[in-house]
Structure 1
Amino acid sequence: MKARPPVSLLIGIRLLRGAGRAGLARFLLMSLGCAMGVACLAAVLTIPAILSAHDSRAAAREPQPVTGALHTRSADDTVFLTRQDPYGSQPFTRIFVGRPAGAHLPPPPGIDHLPGAGEVLVSPRLREVLAAQPGLAGLLPGRVAGTIGPAGLTGPDELYAYIGRAPGQLPASARPLAGFGSKWAPTPAVDSSTLDILRFALVCLVLLPLAVFLSVCARLSAEARARRLAALRLLGLSVKDTLRVNAVETVAAALLGAGLGVGVYALANEVLAEVGLPGLQWYPPDGRPTTTVLAVCLIGCPGLAWFVGRHRAREAATRPLQVRRGARPRPPKKYGLLLLLPGLGVVCGYCVLGVLGHDPSEGPANAVFVPVGVLLTGAGLVLALAPVTAWLARRLAGTTQSLPMALAMRRNEVEPSSSLRVVTGLVLLVYAASLAQGLLVELAHISRPTSSTQEYALPLGDLSESRRIRMGQVEGVKGQAVAMSSWVPDAGSSEPRITAVVADCAQLAAFSAVPPRGCVDGRVQRLTDPEVAEDPAVRPGRSYPFLLSAGGRAGDTEKFRVTLPRDALVIQAHQPSAFVGADVLIPPSALPAGRQPATGSFLLLSDSAPDTVRAVLDGLGTLAPTAEVEAVGVNVEALQQITVVKSLLAAGMVLGRAIGVAAFAVSAADRAMERRGRLAMLNLLGARPLTVRAAQCIQVLLPLAVGLVGALVAGRLAESSYLITGGGTVHWDAEGLPLLVACTVGILLTAALASLPLTRRHVEIQHIRRD
């Protein structure tokens, strides 16, 4: 004999099939709500996989030098040289490869052979940039002979190139190449510490509102479903079977929604991969849901729906008569305060320390206490809203003389959860927006330019005198100088070293934030900066040797001694600058004829406008494609990571806002359907439409106003605690408060308009409760 399905399963299926248009609408609304939530959940869970794929491909192509102290560079070695320049805030990487004739070495992923001398292999994005900006070709000496495939790139927008050169064309700093591939990426898309902060932010921005949203979807038409389950229980169905009947509808809707949500995300991934985010683009396979993501979405979402729906179903199964007769629900539990109070205690404690001037930014305890405090505060806001609203409604209902106010307060007192489903998503939206604003404030402070000028440092050993002259004439360059350190017998010597700047007074003024007074051309002068502490080992009146060479020829050096003057010239260098900490100014005329510093840096200066910086870097790369150009104070990897984090935070904020608005829309529509019977009774009793509408509006606005004010205050405290412990200089974000207040007022107005029911004088018989 075939095993028959359980009776509860059959009843649940029949209820789904015979629920009518209202039941079908409820089922579809639950499914579509779950689909949207699962799509957002899949997007958040896939972010680590996208970043991991980025780092894996970066590690697989990393060139590895030949190791070993006994190995020296020979004519048979394939050598390489890595150069990375900032292209705006994006890194531009060039790998110079010098391969002797007949040498064979396995190529890195993405190409089938290493480029020969005069050949260049570029990424697709770099090929497009070259077509739009031909001046960039000076950085890529040779002809473009091929394109790098996706396996050798971190993303479609990466600027990457392999440049083939003869081994003799590469400088002595080029290293013998052993192969390609490393265990770790040289520059991860997001470093581990920042990734932890990003995960925490996405939990607050997306996952907390998402849990509330899925709970709202699972409890759609909770009152009607509870009455139906209570009727089944009174007909003789056991408690366990009653819960199973409820689970059939809830889990079926969640499963359908989860499948739709995964499908929607999969389609969106294929489209978004072509567009990408600022600073982060990925290939479609990187963002496709993994087995773990599918398991979380297809199992976790129905499991959450079953758990949430089980609470109301158990009440109908254990108290069927009270549910059928519309008895007063049990008062909301106050255990939410047990989460809210400790959370507020933690964040308020850090704020008090910040006010008192005690900086608690150091210490590993902050990495635990701050996230825990923020999460407890957010969860406590949601769970404590019901008892607080019920208490406040009871106090107001006993004192008010207004009929709409009395109707609204009595309903909130008796059944606070009916309105809380509408407002909870919006409350979490404001709370999460405060936290996101704190993260953006810190990132903006880190990435904001602090100087009106930009300096460039190039090793003197890589430049001839004629090339230096031409570099000084590059468009955008408005100053040049040479920085060098004094000579010591050996690297481990304890003798003090000083830093000298070879420049005239006009060049010194160009590199200074404030033009120095008292500078005399042709005279050696000691330099002091009031913002930099002087080295006590550096004594005026003492002579320090510097190495000079004849035309840059190695081995032909001589010592040039400079006596440190006692009188000082006060300067104020830009921050950051290679002039910070300089000890002495040496005029070019003081150097012996035909001699120049043997070691040191050639410094150039331009404005800090991005277009100017890009033009100067292109010009310098054209004149010296293999020279290492350091944009002083610009960490291109850090800028790239900040851009990626900002993009992911912005995406999280968009998802969080969409979830909050969707939770409000779904719960408001469900509440309007549930309230039709009560509205019909009020119309039958002769209540005016204006009174009914005012009562409905007040019933929503009271818990929403309480929740939004609490979210605004708690969010500001949580944001300040994060800024105080983040180590940045900004501890109090006063600029973001007006925006949050304006958004809060806008949310109140929108909720007031959306809560107005469509009341009519006509009374529909099916909406009147007969019991």
Structure 2
Amino acid sequence: MSLRQYARDLGMGVRFAVTGGREGWVRTTLTAVGVGIGVALLLLTTSIPRMLDARHERELSRQDLTFSAVPRPKAGDTVVVAATDTSWHDKNVRGRLLQPEGPGAPLPPGLSRFPATGEMVVSPPLRDLLDSPGARLLRERLPYKIVGTIGESGLLGPRELAYYAGAEGLEPRSGGARADRLTRFGQTQPWQREKDPVLLLMMIVVFVTLLLPVAVFIAAAVRFGGERRDRRLAALRLVGADGRTTRRIAAGEALAGAVLGLLVGAVLFLAGRQAAALVEIQGESFFPSYVTPSPALVPLVAVAVPVCAVLVTLLAMRTVVVEPLGVVRAAVAARRRLWWRLLLPLSGLALLWPMIGQGRVNGDFNQFLVIGGVLLLLVGVTALLPWIVERGVTPLGAGPLSWQLAVRRLQSSGGMAARTVNGIAVAVAGAIALQMLFAGVQSQYVKSTGHDPARAQIEVALSHRTDVTSATRAFARTEGVRASVGLATASLGDRPADPASYTDLVVGDCASLREVARLSSCRDGDMFTVNSPDYSSATDKAMRDAALRPGGRAWINPRIMGGPGLAVPLKITASLPHAAFREDSLMRSVNGLLVTPSALPAAAKPALSAQVFLRLDPALPDGREYVRNTAARVDPVSDVLAWTSTETDGGYSSLRTGLFIGATCVLALIGASLLVSQLEQLRERRKLLSVLVAFGTRRRTLGLSVLWQAAVPIALGVLLASAVGLALGAVLLRMTATPVRVDWPSVLSLTGVGAAMVAAVTLLSLPPLLRLTRPDGLRTE
């Protein structure tokens, strides 16, 4: 057969799809919508890495950290920037104070001019928030006049809360708060994070498990309306077309639907791209310009989807015999064979097996083996599911009429039911494996901070210009504060310059020092040695004893290699008692000297970094907001930190956020695919349903039969997916050298999601079912 004949048959199928009357248009529309949803989700999902990279690049472009130990000198092209980040309830507010020092001072991205002292430029969402009636405390905290808005180039996302305010009297490196002198914004050489093989493995698995259900759905979408299409093709056999020609014409119809699906997908992608500005996920928002798929992916999708439509249709038509007088589909088919279906998951396990126990100490995982192994395991679900459904529904039968109708339908067209559920099964299997992997390695990326939120909820780091005693009293008078403890820290050395031994210095009154160590007696002027459990080695104690000789001298903030240290001498008392470190100390670790205020030389105060620890009244919801307002009033460049018991690695957190976004999109796709498939099946059976109603079958019975037809394959699919997902999760955990542990709550929650999806799709399909079972459904031409 010539290529010209092949193209002519495909072209005839395309014409049938677009000019074949109402039936042709309905089938083409269903295929286009299904393919379009899949294509749009494919483009949106593959845009996630570029979205996160775009946010990271935007963050680097406005970076104002110099990482310099010595501040650069003042000049005509410098600006002093102080960080004044704050929070409003559960939302972060990025704040910066700006003090230009010459006409050539660099502007931050998104600003057209520097705000004057007492003025600020805000992001549009922050302007709206400040104008809202419930933001009184935030307006008190930001007592600046709004004179403009920050442009898109200066924001990470359209919903970010940020401001730049003008200030004066700022000094670089102001103690506990951060202030730097800059000649430019942005980081010229971004800090390169050391590659983590486990994170890279997780990233690969995330994208494979997110994209494969999309591909499965696209392959199923091109087969919508197959039964009616095959009956129409029987008419072509009457006019002389052979079996191969009808298969090529069917492929042409699928090709038309796939091409229209590409157009629908492009429209849906552009709509979703614009809607990205309206969505905030886990505190992060994205500009539409961030949502850009890889340039190589777009032409690949444009070619692969139509080719996939043709190949899938030709493959499906091999099991259908289109004769001049009808379609032979109801004949008893050979039972599906199991051996070759098991080869797929077994081959996947064979690819992953060499990396068992590799962990993060033996280099990167082989990306090709990981992708191939995970793909084969998940594709094995789609191969095994038809066999499972066929064997699972065969013995079923006895039960109510609705159950019998559903079972008989499943027994006669189990392949169609399996195709409908394939996407769900693949998604559930991948989700279970990911949940196991994330839960297993979570302890490696979620670390304890050493803070006890029951002891203190807020820590305020003050600049060196703020007196810790007066600040502590101001916080104690703040509404919602139950206790306020002020402590100051510095370093001690055994010599005024380049000391050989270091130790810590903690300054506070007796009540405050008792929050760090257990003191039997204390008066102003006393000193105590202390060491926390992590400084219990002989080397740590020797370092401390060398710097703290009773009756001798130590130097506060000694000079290091000619640096700007103060080197203030401190007289060590002859009697130096040892204090036991509290297990629930407000400071995580101390190895050195506790000093009361009168024992500290006045000249040493500029060397101290002061912190105030606060315990709040849990009954006052806005207690943290009152504290932040006091901090802004006492020291505008102070840093208010909320204590948490754990902190999460940034790369792990970003990956988890990307997984959440992608899983949300895939879940939406699964729901849409179930609904479209259900509607397509109802349309195919319109006359049969009308006949059943005409003979007295209740619509309630038909509705229940639709429920059972969806529930039984999904139940079998979830069981298979659970087995494959648990196996894949166990292998991935063994690959990362992590003990295998099943996250049963997640497995059960995913099962619940599947059940909820069945119920939702059934409810949404009831109105079309009632409409299709009206008496006019019996009418024919």
- TM-score band w.r.t. shorter chain: 0.7 to 0.9
Question: Would the aligned equivalents of 2:254 and 2:313 in 1 still touch at CA under 8 Å?
Answer: yes
2:468 and 2:703 map into 1 onto residues whose CA distance is: 84
Aligned to 2:259: 255
**Cα contact 1:361–1:725 (8 A) shared by 2:** no
Structure 1 equivalent of residue 630 of structure 2: 619
2:183 maps to 178
Distance 1:597 1:121, change over 3 A: same
What is the alpha-carbon distance in structure 2 between the residues aligned to residue 714 and residue 754 of structure 1?
Answer: 30
The 1:490–1:745 alpha-carbon spacing in structure 2 relative to 1, beyond 3 Å, is: same
Q: Residues 389 and 632 of structure 1: is their aligned pair in 2 closer, same or farther, counting only changes over 3 Å?
A: closer
- CA shift at 1:56, angstroms? 3.4
**Kept after mapping to 2: 8 A contact 1:447/1:642:** no
Question: What is the aligned partner in structure 1 of residue 495 from structure 2?
Answer: 489
2:505 aligned with 1:503: no
Q: Which moved more, 1:621-630 or 1:362-371?
A: 362-371
Task: Tell me which of 150, 153, 178 is aligned to 1:151.
Answer: 153
CA deviations 1:42-71 (Å, max 9, x no partner) are 3223333433433333333345869999x9
- Give the Cα separation in 2 of the matches to 1:122 and 1:679: 61
1:575-614 to structure 2, matched below 5 A, reads 578-589=587-598, 591-592=599-600, 594=602, 596=604, 599-607=607-615, 611-614=622-625
Query: Helix, strand or coil: the match of 1:261?
Result: helix
- 179-188 vs 612-621, which moves further: 179-188
Asked whether the equivalents of residues 486 and 613 of structure 2 are also in contact (C-alpha less than 8 Å), the reply is yes
Change (3 A) 1:92 1:635: farther
C-alpha contact (below 8 Å) 2:79/2:106 kept by paired residues: no
Q: What displacement does 1:707 show?
A: 1.8
Partner residue, 1:480:
486
Query: Structure 2 stretches of 5 or more lacking a match?
Result: 558-563
- Conserved? CA contact 1:547–1:597, under 8 Å: no
The CA deviation string for residues 606-629 of structure 1, in whole angstroms up to 9 with x for no partner, is: 248795445434422332224566
Pick from 236, 239, 245 the counterpart of residue 249 of structure 2: 245
Q: Is the 8 A contact 1:461 1:598 kept in 2?
A: yes
- Counterpart in the other structure of 2:9: 8
Cα distance between partner residues in 2 of 1:612 and 1:558: 41
Q: Which amino acid aligns with 1:538?
A: K
| Cross-structure match for 2:541 | 538
Cα pair 2:199 2:652 within 8 Å, conserved = no
The match for 1:338 is: 343
Q: Does the CA-based 8 Å contact 2:47-2:293 persist in structure 1?
A: yes
Q: Shift of the alpha carbon at 1:659?
A: 1.9
Give the whole-Å Cα distance in 2 for the aligned partners of 1:344 and 1:662.
Answer: 32
Give the deviation of 1:656 after TM superposition: 2.2
Q: CA deviation at 1:572?
A: 0.6
Structure 1's 729 and 140: CA in aligned 2 closer, same or farther, altered over 3 A? farther
**TM-superposed deviation, 1:218:** 0.8
Report 1:525-674 matches (<5 A).
525-530=528-533, 533-534=536-537, 536-539=539-542, 543-544=548-549, 545-547=553-555, 557-561=568-572, 567-573=578-584, 578-589=587-598, 591-592=599-600, 594=602, 596=604, 599-607=607-615, 611-627=622-638, 648-674=658-684
SS in 2 for 1:500: strand
Aligned residue for 1:179, secondary structure, equals: coil
Out of 299, 309, 313, the position equivalent to 2:313 is 309
Amino acid at match of 1:305: A
Alpha-carbon distance change, 271 to 563 in structure 1, aligned in 2, over 3 angstroms: farther
Residue 126 of structure 1 deviates from its aligned partner by: 3.7
Q: Which runs of 5+ in 1 are unaligned?
A: none
Give the drift of 1:420. 0.7
Report if aligned partners of 2:453, 2:644 keep a CA contact under 8 Å in 1: no
Q: Deviations over 1:79-116 (max 9, x none)?
A: 32342535266554444444345x32453432223445
Distance, in Å, in 1 between the alignment partners of 2:75 and 2:608 is 29
| Distance change >3 Å, CA 333–CA 142, structure 1 → 2 | same
Contact 2:425 2:717 in 1 (8 A): yes
CA distance in 2, matches of 1:312, 1:4: 21
Count of aligned pairs: 742
How much has 1:709 moved relative to structure 2?
Answer: 1.3
CA distance in structure 2 between the aligned counterparts of 1:729 and 1:614, rounded to whole angstroms: 43
Q: 1:67 to 1:524 in 2, by over 3 A?
A: closer
CA change 1:372–1:392 in 2 (3 A) is same
* Counterpart code for 1:487: G
Deviates more, 1:227-236 or 1:502-511: 227-236
Q: Secondary structure at the match of 2:158?
A: coil
Equivalent-residue separation in structure 2 for 1:218 and 1:712 (angstroms): 27
Report how far residue 219 of structure 1 moved: 0.9
Structure-to-structure mapping, 1:184-223, within 5 angstroms = 197=202, 200-201=205-206, 203-205=208-210, 207-223=211-227
Query: 2:490 touches 2:504 (CA, 8 Å); kept in 1?
Result: yes
Query: In structure 2, what residue type is equivalent to 1:569?
Result: A
Matches within 5 A, 1:710-721: 710-719=720-729
SS at match of 2:539: coil
- Structure-2 change in CA distance of 1:761 and 1:349 (3 Å): farther
Aligned-partner SS, 1:536? helix
Deviates more, 1:293-302 or 1:435-444: 435-444
Question: Cα 1:86–1:639, aligned 2, differ >3 Å: closer, same or farther?
Answer: farther
- Give me the identity figure in percent: 24
Superposition deviation, residue 217 in structure 1? 1.4
AA in 2 matched with 1:34: V
For the 8 Å contact 1:16–1:23, the answer to whether it is kept is yes
CA contact (8 A) 2:722 2:747 kept: no
Query: Which residue type is aligned with residue 586 of structure 1?
Result: V
Contact 1:85 1:91 survives alignment (8 Å): yes
The 1:293/1:621 distance shift into structure 2, 3 A limit, reads farther
What CA deviation, in whole Å up to 9, does each residue of 1:179-205 have, x standing for no partner? 3344566799x9998687467435424
Q: Partners in 2 of 1:319 and 1:723 — Cα distance?
A: 53
Question: Cα–Cα, structure 1 residues 640 and 622, in superposed 2: closer, same or farther, change >3 Å?
Answer: farther
Query: Relative to structure 1, is the Cα distance of residues 174 and 75 closer, same or farther in structure 2, using a 3 angstrom cutoff?
Result: farther
Instruction: Provide the C-alpha distance between the structure 1 equivalents of 2:752 and 2:353, rounded to a whole number of angstroms.
Output: 24
SS at match of 2:184: strand
Aligned-residue Cα RMSD (Å) equals: 5.4
Contact 2:566 2:607 (C-alpha < 8 Å) held by counterparts: no
2:29 maps to what in 1?
Answer: 28
Whole-angstrom distance in 2 between the partners of 1:679 and 1:593: 94
Once residues 300 and 230 of structure 1 are traced to their aligned partners in structure 2, the CA distance between those partners, rounded to angstroms, is: 29
Aligned to 2:560: none
How far off is 1:558 after superposition? 2.2
Aligned residue identity for 2:212: L
Contact 1:91–1:640 under 8 Å retained in 2:
no
Deviates more, 1:308-317 or 1:137-146: 137-146
1:611–1:732: structure 2 CA closer, same or farther, 3 Å change rule? farther
Using the alignment, how far apart are the partners of 2:703 and 2:625 within structure 1? 61
Residues 262 and 297, structure 1, Cα contact 8 Å, conserved in 2 = no
Matches within 5 A, 1:45-194: 45-63=46-64, 73-74=73-74, 76=76, 78-83=78-83, 85-87=85-87, 91-101=92-102, 103-105=103-105, 107-115=107-115, 119-131=119-131, 133=135, 143-166=145-168, 176-183=181-188
Partners of 1:380 and 1:571 in 2: CA distance: 57
8 Å contact from structure 1 (residues 408, 699) kept in 2: yes
Question: In structure 2, what is the equivalent of residue 739 of structure 1?
Answer: 749
Task: Judge conservation of contact 1:498–1:582 (CA < 8 Å) in 2.
Answer: yes
Give the match for residue 277 of structure 1.
281
Classify 1:168/1:664 alpha carbon distance in 2 versus 1 (closer, same or farther; 3 Å).
closer
Give the conservation status (yes or no) of the 8 Å contact 2:83–2:95: yes
Deviation track 1:401-455 (CA, whole Å, cap 9, x = no partner) reads 9999999889867754122123223323433553565588677994999633245
C-alpha change, 1:725 and 1:324, in structure 2 (3 Å) is: closer
* C-alpha separation in 2, matches of 1:566 and 1:724: 52
Residues 137 and 535 (structure 1), Cα distance of their counterparts in 2 relative to 1, 3 Å cut:
farther
